[in-house]
Amino acid sequence: MPIPNKNYFQRKNKSKGPRSNERISSPEVQVINVDGSNLGILNLKDAIIKAKQENLDLIEIAPNARPPVCKIMDMGKYKYDLQKKLNKAKKKQKKIELKEIKLRPVTEVHDYTFKIKNAQKFLSKGDKVKFTIRFKGREMQHAKLGNELMDKIKSDMEDIGKVELQPKFDGKQMIMVIQPL
């Protein structure tokens, strides 16, 4: 049995981030200096030498341009700044959750008002609210009670949210989804 190549089992490392220095494939590059001034189109070797003289790296900023645009800067600082930008963008994102409020067609007034206040609190935070009315036994024969309750919920919520999913039956329960305005 032949011995497999030593590198056969090793994972190929996919490079993370932009190409720099010798990894740049184009023979000529547009070079931008540390201070932001344009040095023009240079041979790749000359550009790398110029970057090494300043103890910095030549980093490919726009690889799809002809010729590719490269900037002389510190690679570590560049990666750090990119990571900071990504984290800042991720922090600004709002993740919308779906909160569920379960009711029965015979829910008492106090319980109803308590659950409506919670729903309004959820909507003001920017979350969607799913109202579920569960029917048991012979309550299925009185579906109009569920429809009346859903209409009452709609009228109580119209100033803070709008109906995304109209009330519909799903087995032994009635479902409606309201999203914030």
**CATH numbers and ranges of domains, the chain:** 17-87 (3.10.20.80), 98-180 (3.30.110.10)
Q: Is residue 121 scored above 90 in pLDDT?
A: yes
pTM attached to this predicted model: 0.54
Query: Would you place residue 134 in the very low, low, confident or very high pLDDT band (cuts 50, 70, 90)?
Result: very high
Q: Is residue 111 scored above 80 in pLDDT?
A: yes
- How far apart are alpha carbons 154 and 113 in whole angstroms? 13
pLDDT, mean of residues 37-43: 91
Instruction: Give the per-residue pLDDT at 110.
Output: 95
pLDDT, mean of residues 124-132: 92
Instruction: Give the per-residue pLDDT at 114.
Output: 95
Instruction: Give the per-residue pLDDT at 90.
Output: 86
